């Protein structure tokens, strides 16, 4: 038994013994007629005083022996002997105090469990039985004439049955109580460990975590949250979430990914967060949980990587341009040299001049596309109907006899952006679809309005895109065609990226190619760099 439990039980035993003695003494004074029928009233008073003294001795020894099982047995045996003396002083077989044996048996089972209850039951039976046997033989006390020998034996049997029944029942109850207590303690320890583990996990995870009530007032925050927000230990609790994160609204949907900026001592930090409901055991939402991370370094690395990719692309593009410029320059040089050698114009002169003009046009196209890709024009933001732009392009391409445009867009697609550059994007995509169908075919225009933006799909019935080329179609100067600069899709990708959207290509199993453009309906900040 844990020492703390034995200590508390012995303390309770001493307290209840003192209380019982006090009530016994008070009853003897209050009920004088009853006390007068006790054979030895003076001895009973002295006995009560002696019990008080014994209780005081127990109290004095308690601090030294409070965890001793022997000390517990000594008190219980002393109580049984004292109860036998009490029964003797109050008339033996006629005593009203034989029930006190049951109290000590119950105390033994509760304090020491198991065998202690049976031991005290046996000791009570021996002492009570010996007392009644001596009384029936008139060795002690006077045996009342109304009781026969069989009455004494039956009384001993009944009390023995009561003592052992109490010992058995109280032992079973005490053992069950002990097991329940141990299980509760184990469960309590497991729960305590789990709480400590959960607390440590929340406290030391490298992401910020804030709990708030339903009104958005912060309740708790872990160390990472305070570090990310640059707040002191108690600087977050009580603040409104919109004060901590100015870019959010308390009306944001749960589990929605939100990204924005905060200022910390003049430094701008990029924060990515999600808000989830905080629920109680019944599943009712009682607050909010905000989980967030500092994305500043990650975004800086992404920008750096993007710059490096752009520099690498420009380097490759420059090498490609240098290679491509040699051919028209060689043709120009040859044509001019031949024209210079002719003293008089001949019929070949006009052919040479035509070649020179075509090569100059080719040079101009290469340089123009390169400049568009390398130094795109700043966006001129306007709010317009993108569906109208797509309808105009559909009309232009519908005049081609071998191409059929199927435009299923019926609703308005109101968007904020640069209409000229977005028109260039879809023109390039439609031209790419036409070039993918040299024998003619069908082009499908589809669009969907989402809560966060628009999704426009251009699907053709051409030859599709091979698996090895699907990831290269947006690379500058990459092309599977003999003609063109290979910058059309790369320019489209660049423009969509500046509009904070995305451009994806796929080649479905049924054939053809699908280009999907995703655009936000509004642009709070347009990138012009």
pLDDT tier for residue 526 given thresholds of 50, 70 and 90:
very low
Count of other CB atoms within 10 angstroms of residue 254: 11
Give the Cα separation of 319 and 325 in Å (integer): 10
Give the Cα separation of 304 and 412 in Å (integer): 38
Residue of higher predicted confidence among 298 and 186: 298
Q: Render pLDDT for 229-239 as a digit per residue (tens, 0 to 9).
A: 887 767 788 88
Specify the CATH number of the domain 303-374.
1.10.287.130
Contact (Cβ atoms closer than 8 angstroms) between residue 507 and residue 516? no
The one-character DSSP state at 3 is H
Count of other CB atoms within 10 angstroms of residue 289: 15
Question: So where are the chain's domains?
Answer: 3-186, 205-294, 303-374, 382-519
Whether the per-residue pLDDT at 525 is higher than 50: the answer is no
Cα separations in angstroms, 81 against 84, 98, 168, 187, 267: 5, 12, 21, 41, 83
Look at residue 323 in the predicted model and tell me its pLDDT: 61
Q: Which of 58-67, 243-252, 305-314, 321-330 has the lowest mean pLDDT?
A: 321-330
382-519 belongs to CATH 3.20.20.60? no
Give the Cα separation of 170 and 176 in Å (integer): 10
Buried b (16+ CB within 10 A) or exposed e, 294-309: bbbeeeeeeeeeeeee
Whether the per-residue pLDDT at 484 is higher than 60: the answer is no
Contact (Cβ atoms closer than 8 angstroms) between residue 284 and residue 306? no
Residues in Cβ contact with 515 at an 8 Å cutoff, skipping those fewer than 6 apart:
429, 432, 433, 457, 458, 459, 503, 504, 505
Q: Which of 165-169, 337-341, 445-449 has the lowest mean pLDDT?
A: 337-341
Intrachain domains 205-294 and 303-374 with the same fold: no
Q: Which residues pair with 317 in a beta bridge?
A: none
Predicted model pTM: 0.43
Average pLDDT of 392-416? 86
Nearest CA to 143 among 159, 154, 132?
132
Look at residue 122 in the predicted model and tell me its pLDDT: 93
CATH class of residue range 205-294: alpha beta
Question: What percentage of the chain's residues is helix, strand, coil (to nearest 5)?
Answer: 55, 15, 30
Which pair of tokens denotes residue 290? 């905000």
Average pLDDT of 260-278? 83
Whether the per-residue pLDDT at 128 is higher than 90: the answer is yes
Which pair of tokens denotes residue 288? 């909010």
pLDDT tier for residue 314 given thresholds of 50, 70 and 90:
low
């Amino acid at each position: 038994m844990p020492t703390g439990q034995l200590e508390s039980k012995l303390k309770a035993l001493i307290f209840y013994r003192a209380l019982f003695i006090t009530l016994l003494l008070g009853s003897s004074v209050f009920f004088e007629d009853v006390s007068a029928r006790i054979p030895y009233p003076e001895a009973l008073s002295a006995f009560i005083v002696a019990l008080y003294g014994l209780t005081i001795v127990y109290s004095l020894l308690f601090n030294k022996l409070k965890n001793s099982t022997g000390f517990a047995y000594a008190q219980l045996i002393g109580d049984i002997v004292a109860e036998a003396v009490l029964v003797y002083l109050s008339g033996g077989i006629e005593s009203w105090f034989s029930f006190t044996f049951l109290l000590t048996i119950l105390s033994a089972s509760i304090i020491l469990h198991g065998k202690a209850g049976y031991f005290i039951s046996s000791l009570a039976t021996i002492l009570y039985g010996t007392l009644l046997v001596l009384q029936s033989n008139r060795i002690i006390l006077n045996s009342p004439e109304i009781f026969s020998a069989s009455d004494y034996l039956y009384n001993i049997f009944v009390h023995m049955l009561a003592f052992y029944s109490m010992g058995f029942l109280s032992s079973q109850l005490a053992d069950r109580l002990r097991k329940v207590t141990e299980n509760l303690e184990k469960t309590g320890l497991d729960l305590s460990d789990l709480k400590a583990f959960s607390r440590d996990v929340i406290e030391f995870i490298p992401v910020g975590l804030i709990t708030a009530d339903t009104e958005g007032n912060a309740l708790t925050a872990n160390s990472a949250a305070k570090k990310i927000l640059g707040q002191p230990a108690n600087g977050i609790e009580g603040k409104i979430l919109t004060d901590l994160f100015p870019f959010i609204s308390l009306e944001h949907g749960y589990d929605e990914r939100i990204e924005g900026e905060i200022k910390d001592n003049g430094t701008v930090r990029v924060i990515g967060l999600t808000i989830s409901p905080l629920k109680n055991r019944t599943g009712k939402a009682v607050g909010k949980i905000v989980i967030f991370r500092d994305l500043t370094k990650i975004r800086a690395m992404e920008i750096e990587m993007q710059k490096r990719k752009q520099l690498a692309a420009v380097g490759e593009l420059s090498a490609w341009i240098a290679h491509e410029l040699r051919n028209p320059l060689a043709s120009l040089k040859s044509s001019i040299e031949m024209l210079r050698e002719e003293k008089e114009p001949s019929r070949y002169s006009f052919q040479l001049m035509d070649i020179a003009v075509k090569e100059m046009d080719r040079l101009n196209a290469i340089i123009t596309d390169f400049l568009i890709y390398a130094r795109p024009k700043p966006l001129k933001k306007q709010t317009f109907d993108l569906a109208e732009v797509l309808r105009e392009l559909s009309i232009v391409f519908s005049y081609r006899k071998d191409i059929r445009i199927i435009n299923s867009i019926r609703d308005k697609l109101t968007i904020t952006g640069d209409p000229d550059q977005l028109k260039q994007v879809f023109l390039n995509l439609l031209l790419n679809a036409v070039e993918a169908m040299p024998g003619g075919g069908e082009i499908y225009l589809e669009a969907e309005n989402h809560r966060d933006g628009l999704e426009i799909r251009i699907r053709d019935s051409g030859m599709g895109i091979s698996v090895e080329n699907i990831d290269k179609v947006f690379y500058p100067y990459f092309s599977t065609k003999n003609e063109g600069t290979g910058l059309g899709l790369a320019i489209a990708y660049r423009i969509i990226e500046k509009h904070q959207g995305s451009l994806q290509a796929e080649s479905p199993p049924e054939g053809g190619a699908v280009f999907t453009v995703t655009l936000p309906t509004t642009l709070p900040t347009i990138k012009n760099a």
